[in-house]
């Protein structure tokens, strides 16, 4: 039996996948994750990690500086892991959202000489049906460990034709190099960084309420998952432009309260 490498796009999914591996197979299956959220920020020069970290520092609050250090280190780890791949089967776990789909494209760009061993597992491709309840997952992070085996059965061998098609999409997104990429109608698109501003305003009350509540509403009601870091950064930009007012500690999403400006 060949060894297997699982690749995913968050620490929580990594833990979930490890938990879901049968004990007798754990010596044959390794799990790694890619940390950076490539749905936002520059992607035209992925060899320049400092540029990516500079962007991440722009949208990630300073109290999460440890995360920035981890992201930088993770780039080195990923490149080392990819270079050490021999003949393992490679399973890439993702859902139809901007972060995981751009992450998939980036990882595939590193695997160009190993494409024949690559399988993809798209947890958004088919709804999960259990006891009459239909669940459609937007990200791999929404899948509970006990349901992982069902998705393994949905794996698809990528093949050269599929790889070439996805690399064409990656090149297109890199050339466009917008500061935001989202999934709409199951396709990933480049959009302006202000794309979510109107829905943020829609779920911002006329009276002061918790900023985290607005962020949660936008995440919960959007077709494609988007990170709370990016949405909070957009709220701060809307505060700068005068479209949202705040009280409390500026930059602290949990404690800050916001309301729609009277001029909006």
Task: Examine the domain organization and report whether 56 and 166 are in the same domain.
Answer: yes
The chain-wide mean pLDDT, for the chain, equals 92
Q: Taking Cα atoms as reference points, which of 107, 170, 99, 106 lies closest to residue 140?
A: 99
CA-CA-CA-CA torsion for 127, 128, 130, 134, nearest 10 degrees? -30
How far apart (Å, rounded) are the C-alpha atoms in residues 243 and 1? 59
Residue 185 lies in a domain: no
Quick one: 39 and 158 in the same domain? yes
In a domain, 32, yes or no: yes
171 is in which domain, residue-wise? 4-176
Both 66 and 18 in one domain: the answer is yes
Q: Quote the number of domains for the chain.
A: 2
Write the pLDDT tens digit of every residue in 110-131. Answer: 998 888 999 999 999 887 877 7
Q: How far apart are CA 142 and CA 73, in angstroms?
A: 26
Identify whether residues 154 and 101 lie together within a single domain.
yes
Residue 1 has pLDDT above 80, yes or no: no
Q: Is 104 within the bounds of a domain?
A: yes
For residues 3 and 186, give the distance between their C-alpha atoms in angstroms, rounded to a whole number.
31
Same domain, 51 and 22: yes
Looking at the fold, whether 98 and 161 belong to one and the same domain comes out as yes
Q: Which two tokens stand for residue 56?
A: 């991440």
Q: What is the CATH number of the domain that holds 223?
A: 1.10.10
pTM: 0.93
- pLDDT tens-digit profile of 61-75? 988 889 999 999 999
């Amino acid at each position: 039996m060949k060894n297997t490498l699982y690749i995913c796009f968050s620490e929580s999914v990594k833990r979930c996948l490890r938990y879901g591996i049968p004990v007798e197979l754990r010596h044959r299956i390794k799990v790694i994750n890619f940390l950076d959220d490539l749905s936002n920020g520059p992607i035209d020069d992925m060899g320049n990690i400092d540029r990516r970290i500079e962007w991440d520092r722009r949208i990630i609050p300073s109290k999460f500086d440890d995360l920035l250090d981890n992201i930088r280190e993770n780039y080195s780890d990923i490149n080392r892991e990819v270079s050490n791949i021999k003949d393992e089967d490679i399973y890439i776990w993702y859902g139809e959202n901007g972060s995981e789909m751009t992450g998939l494209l980036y990882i595939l760009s590193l695997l160009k000489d190993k494409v024949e061993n690559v399988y993809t597992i798209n947890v958004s491709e088919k709804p999960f049906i259990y006891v009459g309840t239909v669940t459609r997952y937007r990200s791999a992070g929404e899948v509970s460990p006990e349901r992982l085996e069902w998705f393994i059965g949905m794996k698809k061998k990528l093949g050269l034709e599929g790889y070439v098609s996805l690399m064409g999409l990656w090149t297109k997104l890199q050339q466009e190099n917008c500061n935001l990429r989202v999934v709409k109608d199951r396709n990933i698109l480049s959009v302006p960084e202000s794309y979510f501003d109107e829905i943020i305003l829609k779920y911002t009350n006329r009276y002061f309420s918790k900023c985290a509540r607005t962020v949660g509403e936008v995440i919960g009601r959007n077709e494609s998952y988007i990170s709370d870091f990016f949405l909070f950064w957009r709220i701060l930009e809307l505060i700068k432009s005068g479209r949202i007012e705040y009280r409390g500690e500026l930059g602290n999403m949990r404690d800050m309260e916001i309301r729609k400006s009277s001029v909006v």
